[in-house]
A and B are shown apart, each in its own frame.
Chain A
Amino acid sequence: MISRQKLLLSPAAKPIFFVLCLLPFVWLFYSALTNQLGANPAEALIRATGDWTLRFICIALAITPLRTISSTPALARFRRMLGLFVYFYVVIHLLSYSWFDMGFDVADIVKDIIKRPFILVGFSAFVLLTPLAATSFNAAIKAMGAKRWQTLHKLVYVIAGLGLLHFFWMRSGKNDFAEVFVYAAIIAVLFGWRVKQFLKKKKLKSPGNADDAILTR
């Protein structure tokens, strides 16, 4: 257990993790350049970046439960980077849609949003995520105060829900929800764990409990 902690705390851990998170993007970029995205490259890019956004939401939300269950506090070092990667992939997702599908035609985009409300849901998730990304540096936490900062960042649960709804709605045309349910199940488990922790904490109501600080993060 100590060795796991040590590994995660080593100076190389963060850069390695950063490169790992960037790999899907590098792979997509390379495939687009070498024309390996199949018959409909625009669709492939938009869908893949959407998938990766959802995956990074799941990974970011898994950090705290994993950290607590496995008693590996060092995992917390990676949470902020993961959150920012969610934002990174959603920005590319939005860019791919506006550029490759809509040709940056604002009138077309507005018409499309009216026609396809699921796009509005996805866009709202992006808008809500923006203040979270913008306040992800230490000075912002200090300026806001930890309590308010935490409250703001609880928005991530709403954002995850909107992301899921966006995906569900998009797939409803094909009555094909298998993949949606996988993401929904993962997010439900991660959220359920937090609810359980919250209830447990309420029950204990012991302010001096040292574990509390970790559990509530």
Chain B
Amino acid sequence: MLIKTSASGFCHSVPSDITSPSAYQGRRELMKLMATGAAGAALASWAGREALAQSYQKPSKLAALAGGKSGVAGAIVMDKVTDYKDATTYNNFYEFGTDKADPGKNAHTLVTKPWSVAVEGLVKQPKTYTLEDLIKLSPQEERIYRLRCVEGWSMVIPWTGYSLSELIKKVEPLGSAKYVEFITQADPKTMPFVGSRVLEWPYVEALRMDEAMHPLALLTFGMYGEVLANQNGAPVRMVLPWKYGFKSGKSIVKIRFTDKEPRTAWNKAAAQEYGFYSNVNPEVDHPRWSQATERRIGEDGLFAKKRKTLMFNGYEAQVGQLYAGMDLKKFF
């Protein structure tokens, strides 16, 4: 066997390894084009297609709340954005009724001013933030996320907010803090169905600390360039694009850091059906229905076949490592 070392002297490359002069010249030309900006024109149609895919109608209904560009990986999906009308008339927000048309009809009674959010529990800097202070805590970013409901439908919604991690860093959790709990508003005077026996009130959700620190976990104040509509969880909610929609608590009034895994609202109602993690997973079915496919609201018409659901709702590259080594069938 012939082993080549530096001692064996210069070896000539085989002809197929050598770049042909024409290809070499071609690259030079492309670089020149780039430098002069001419490539811009060539790429314009491609870029234009992207811009077109992500344009959406501004609803002009509520106060504007613009978000800047986000540098977070996975912040903008290229799927077609769902119509504002669908996103505000087809909701699960049981405090306003269990029919999906109910929140849009009933949530006008929600009072969002004044609003404050208490941050408490295992933190060095517990504090009650007024909504105004919370909005200003970090620059607002626009994130266009897929939203997958556990019931088997999905939407694509442009949210405005910032990574929850920004707030968490400010309040300095203690080493003993392992979980973050979100307690939402439960006011029977303004929320007609609080007190119904469907769920235990207030609606409580929670995340493991590393999930809460993930940059995609969005503390959300707006949608479609405006403040949140009441039926979508005004004035402040969570959005966790890789989890089923119900994990994202709406109209949050308290964020608490704990050392024990909190019991969450749906887990309390039906533990065998709704686990703590509730990550979107086409391979782990809900006990009573398949999670392999979904219907995209407003896009998949009456005669369209349902589309395949993606692992972690398409955010596997970003969040997959949070669950490395975990049996996702057991920790559903």
Which residues of A are at the interface with B, using a C-beta cutoff of 8 A?
32, 38-43, 45, 99-101, 103, 105, 111-112, 115-116, 173-176
Contacts and interface: CB of A to CB of B under 8 A. Distances in A.
B198 A100 contact: no
Interface string B289-332: 11000010110011101100000000000000000000000000
A32 B302 contact: yes
A174 B198 contact: yes
Nearest to A100: B302
B199 interface: yes
30 contacts: A32-B302, A38-B90, A38-B101, A39-B85, A39-B89, A39-B297, A40-B90, A40-B100, A40-B153, A40-B295, A40-B297, A41-B301, A42-B295, A42-B302, A43-B153, A99-B303, A101-B306, A105-B305, A111-B290, A112-B290, A115-B285, A115-B288, A115-B290, A116-B288, A116-B289, A173-B273, A173-B288, A175-B198, A176-B98, A176-B198
Interface in B219-275: 269, 273
Contacts of A101: 306
B306 A39 contact: no
Interface of B: 85-86, 89-90, 98, 100-101, 153, 197-199, 269, 273, 285, 288-290, 295, 297-298, 301-303, 305-306
Contacts of B290: 111-112, 115
A99 B285 CA distance: 22
A41 B302 contact: yes
Nearest to A174: B98
A176 B289 CA distance: 18
A115 B90 CA distance: 25
Query: What 7 A-B pairs come out closest when comparing CB atoms?
Result: A39-B90, A39-B86, A103-B305, A175-B198, A176-B98, A39-B297, A41-B302
Given A38-B101, A174-B98, 18 more contacts: A38-B90, A39-B100, A39-B298, A40-B90, A40-B100, A40-B295, A41-B301, A42-B302, A43-B153, A45-B302, A100-B303, A103-B306, A112-B289, A115-B289, A173-B273, A173-B288, A175-B197, A176-B98
Highest count of chain A CB atoms <10 Å: which of B89, B269, B285, B288? B288
Interface of A is mostly: helix
Contacts of A38: 89-90, 101
A29 to B, nearest CB: 12
Nearest to A101: B306
A115 B292 CA distance: 12
Contacts of A32: 302
Contacts of B85: 39
Contacts of A173: 273, 288
Contact of B199 (A105, A112, A175): A175
A175 B198 CA distance: 5
A98 to B, nearest CB: 13
Contacts of A115: 285, 288-290
A38 B297 CA distance: 10
A112 B291 CA distance: 11
A41 B296 CA distance: 11
Nearest to B193: A176
Contacts of B89: 38-39
Contacts of B302: 32, 41-42, 45, 100
A43 B301 CA distance: 11
Contacts of B298: 39
Contacts of A105: 305
Nearest to A96: B302
Contacts of B197: 175
B66 to A, nearest CB: 26
Nearest to B86: A39
A40 B301 CA distance: 9
Contacts of B273: 173
A146 to B, nearest CB: 43
A100 B197 CA distance: 32
**Interface-central residue, A38, A40, A100, A174, by most chain B CB under 10 Å:** A40
A117 B303 CA distance: 25
A175 B269 contact: yes
A112 B289 CA distance: 7
B171 to A, nearest CB: 35
A108 B288 CA distance: 14
A102 B100 CA distance: 22
A41 B269 CA distance: 29
A174 B100 CA distance: 12
A109 to B, nearest CB: 11
Contacts of B199: 175
Contacts of A112: 289-290
A45 B302 CA distance: 10
